Amino acid sequence: MLNKEHIDYFKNIVGEENVKADKAHLIAYCYDATKERFEPDAVVFPRDEQDISKVLKYCNEHKIVIVPRGAGSGFTGGALPSNGGIILSLERHMNKLLEIDMENMVGVVQPGLINMEFQKAVEEVGLFYPPDPASEEYSTLGGNVSENAGGMRAAKYGITKDYVVALRAVLPNGEIISAGKKTIKDVAGYNTAGILIASEGTLAVITEITLKLIPKPKFKQTYMGVFPDVNTAMNAVFKSLAAGANPVAMEFLDALVIKALKQKFPNIELPENAGGILVGDVDGSSQAEIDSQIETLKEAFAKYGSIGFIEAKDEEEGKKLWFARRNASPATAIYGTKKLNEDISVPRAKLPEALDAIYAIGEKYGFNVPCFGHAGDGNIHVNVMVKDKNNEKEMHDGHKAIEEIFQMVCDMGGTLSGEHGIGLSKAPFMNIAFTDAEIELFKSIKKAFDPNNILNPFKMGLV
């Protein structure tokens, strides 16, 4: 528990206006998208890297817990102060675009910069930063790196880790380190940046990020493939990619999601006979490249069972095709009062088998389980819909269904999370995905970075 002496010391470091311990601030920083609530003892807004270094050094000496936080938009409780302590919020001051290096095609940012703001800034000079999590309008780049965020463009362009060139970070003892260089090649020493990516703020506090940029594609077109059922659509995913298709995105909606969309949005333009849908974009440097990609998709989809293919004639038509995917999550609320939403990921060729197993588990417990997500990279958003969240048995069965889904996914070579991370909510299931030896290795890495366990403790199942 913090005392007045601790609070006064933090005010000395960062300024009185950047330390808050009033009830309003403690409530404002006690939750994330999980809706779980854990109040911190104080919120500190560091102004720069030196502030962070001094705060961490003091907390390490006095065994005070620190939880780094960006926008607090995570779905697994990774930025929640589950054991009290300090929220170290990087959103107020550490939010600047430091450099766009046109010659080396990289951007240098502070961790509190919003993803979408960075995308817009680099596109204004003809460059492109592909990672686009659904939270891109409010999630921070530091949070994206800490969770290794993905997005709809991952099918073609990959995820956050594929664009992190270098990092600066502060260790729990206050020491400042650099990991990586602006160079394209760097094989000197351990890949420290790689260890910090997806570490969920448990190893160090990231203070600066250097991100790879690529030329902005000049042309883009949206498509929609219509299938009689979701299994046919899932087969078409990996087979069309193997045939040479290279879409930016390939998102899917199953029959339950399509039904929910039609009920929630009566005027939505969706094919009447659709039992499964694939929607996405293709992009390129010329219209000829776009036309070739669309034709490849159209032919592959037809070969593998599609009953329709729609090409957007312009950007406005493209937005209409994307409307269904962007509103899939809220539409599923028709099936229950509580959504147990998980973001499992499987090898793409396992998508049909995984969905069959998910629906069978839902049927076993009596739940509708609408699914949608990023078929192009094997990432499924599974939604176990509990009809009555106040019914203890239903909630218990819902969590049992999720556990069985996790086990099934890991058995087929998949993973607990493709985007959201582990945090608090998935920590109990780490033993499903990893062996005892692997978990002990994670714990030893945590101890090497943070021997006093002050930095975001108890996340990811690590103590």
| Tokens standing for residue 350 | 């396992």
**Where are the CATH 3.30.70.2740 domain residues in the chain?**
335-412
List, for residues 129-172, the tens digit of each pLDDT value.
999 999 999 999 999 999 999 999 999 999 999 999 999 999 99
**Strands laid side by side in the 19-20 sheet:** 19-20, 42-44, 86-89, 66-69
**Where are the CATH 3.30.465.10 domain residues in the chain?**
97-215
Whether this prediction's pTM lies above 0.75 is answered by yes
Q: Which of 416, 382, 385 is nearest to 398 (CA)?
A: 385
Beta pairing partners, 373 = 252, 380
The answer to whether residue 462 scores a pLDDT higher than 90 is no
Average pLDDT over residues 14-22: 97
Report how far residue 288's alpha carbon sits from residue 297's, in angstroms, rounded to the nearest whole number. Answer: 14
Q: Which of 401, 360, 359, 355 is nearest to 378 (CA)?
A: 355
Average pLDDT over residues 439-448: 97
List, for residues 212-222, the tens digit of each pLDDT value.
999 999 999 99
Instruction: Please identify which residue in the block is written with the tokens 């403690």.
Output: 26
List, for residues 285-314, the tens digit of each pLDDT value.
999 999 999 999 999 999 999 999 999 999
| β-bridge pairing 205-212 and 371-374 | unpaired
- Compute φ and ψ for 170, nearest 5 degrees: -110, 125
Beta pairing partners, 440 = none
Burial (Cβ within 10 Å: 0-12, 13-18, ≥19) of residue 39: middle
* CB distance 129 to 211 below 8 Å: yes
CATH architecture of 335-412: 2-Layer Sandwich (3.30)
DSSP one-letter string for 272-329: TT-SEEEEEEEEESSHHHHHHHHHHHHHHHHHTT-SEEEE-SSHHHHHHHHHHHHTHH
Q: Say which CATH topology domain 97-215 has.
A: 3.30.465
The answer to whether residue 242 scores a pLDDT higher than 90 is yes
- Look over the chain and give the mean of its residue pLDDT values, rounded to a whole number: 96
The answer to whether residue 1 scores a pLDDT higher than 80 is no
Q: List the Cα angle 265/270/273 in 5-degree steps.
A: 125
CATH architecture of 219-332: 2-Layer Sandwich (3.30)
| Tokens standing for residue 339 | 């959504």
CATH architecture of 4-89: 2-Layer Sandwich (3.30)
| Tokens standing for residue 312 | 């957007």
